[in-house]
Structure 1
Amino acid sequence: MKRLLPLAVAALALSGCGLRPLYSGGSTGTVATTLAAVDVGAIEGKAGWLMGNALRDRFHSGQGTTVRYRLEVKLDDKIIGLGIRRDDSISRERRTLRARYQLVDLSNGSVLLDAAAGSDAGIDSVGSEYATIAAENSALERLSQIVADQILTRVATYVDHADRAAR
């Protein structure tokens, strides 16, 4: 009995905390259907191509729903040398991918959400130029996935809050 009392108190405390599932209702819920109605605009460059694909995969864009929103994304992709060897060559790099994005309502052109997301990755510069380029490309692929996850989470949270405010 003494062991069950703390569990009961914890269950009561957590039930009143106000947490609820973001994707309640599954694929027919408000958040999921709204995300599917988002068209991801064209994004420039290789990083833009990777980011656009990652976002379309996450938003499930164009899967049988009418497009009501557009996500406009501008990327800033930088590689900065950090470590220097005795021969003045770079031994370590940092690749930074930042995204400035806006969620636009197509019915009236208003910007519903204006935010930024970003991440960075460390890259070892080895003696082989091929290996360094492969590491830089691999870092860009990973960063595109990470930043796309951040954007999806922020847009989904916005949709959920807007839906709760409308009720």
Structure 2
Amino acid sequence: MWSFDRRNLILGALALGGLASCGFTPAYGPNGTATRLQNRILVSEPSDRNSYLLTRHLETRLGRSASPEFGLNVTLELQEEGIAVTSTNITARYNVIGKAAYELLDLSDGSVLTKGQVNSFTGYSATGSTASIQTAEADAYERLMVILGDQIVTRLIAASGNLPE
């Protein structure tokens, strides 16, 4: 039994040594690349409810800056698609499909540091009372803005190693 424990101890030490030498650094840890983004980005001004929800989520994840160094422009494309139609030709469920094109700018010279596009979808039921359908629709759009915002932040974190310090 004792030799089994010793073997596990040695294997564990070797594994930890291997992880330490791989160069892995947590994104938000000390000297992590994502700290270059925190409270340094000015998100473009929203123009409607959905872009407001996206901006709010991005600012929650990235922080709001009093003196930003980077600008984040986001362009939304949204559409609804009926996906469940009853035998009486009434749509009972909708998908909300969203695309968000983004570009991160260096505010000192206006150069584009990184850009890309993310997309996803959510759905909602169109059965029930008018109030429940409107609530389900609004919730689907809000969930979609969170999903798109999280995808943008993930892409920005991935690109943050190439940003100026």
Query: Does TM, normalized by the shorter one, top 0.5?
Result: yes
For 1:10, the equivalent position in structure 2 comes to: 15
For 1:151, the equivalent position in structure 2 comes to: 152
For 2:103, the equivalent position in structure 1 comes to: 102
Equivalent runs, 1:110-149 vs 2, <5 Å:
110-149=111-150
Q: Which has more radius of gyration?
A: 2
For 2:59, the equivalent position in structure 1 comes to: 56
Distance in 2 (CA, whole Å) between partners of 1:35 and 1:100 is 21
Distance in 2 (CA, whole Å) between partners of 1:135 and 1:17 is 46
**Unpaired segments ≥5 residues, structure 1:** none
**Superposition deviation, residue 5 in structure 1:** 3.3
1:81 aligns with 2:86: no
**Superposition deviation, residue 102 in structure 1:** 0.5
Distance in 1 (CA, whole Å) between partners of 2:40 and 2:20 is 32
Partners of 1:70 and 1:105 within 8 A in 2? yes
Partners of 2:73 and 2:104 within 8 A in 1? yes
For 2:3, the equivalent position in structure 1 comes to: none
Aligned AA for 2:34? Answer: V
**TM-score normalised over the length of structure 1:** 0.84
For 1:92, the equivalent position in structure 2 comes to: 93
Distance in 1 (CA, whole Å) between partners of 2:103 and 2:159 is 12
How many residues in Structure 1 have an aligned counterpart in Structure 2?
160
**Superposition deviation, residue 152 in structure 1:** 1.5
Percent of aligned pairs with the same amino acid: 28
- CA shift digits 1:113-152 (9 cap, x unpaired): 1111222112122132321221111011111112112212
Partners of 1:43 and 1:73 within 8 A in 2? no
Distance in 1 (CA, whole Å) between partners of 2:128 and 2:151 is 34
1:19 to 2, 18, 24: 24
Partners of 2:33 and 2:157 within 8 A in 1? no
Distance in 2 (CA, whole Å) between partners of 1:31 and 1:104 is 16
For 1:39, the equivalent position in structure 2 comes to: 42
Distance in 2 (CA, whole Å) between partners of 1:161 and 1:126 is 48
Distance in 1 (CA, whole Å) between partners of 2:80 and 2:45 is 23
**Superposition deviation, residue 33 in structure 1:** 4.8
**TM-score normalised over the length of structure 2:** 0.85
**Superposition deviation, residue 160 in structure 1:** 2.4
Aligned AA for 1:19? Answer: F
* CA distance 1:45–1:15, change in 2 (3 Å): same
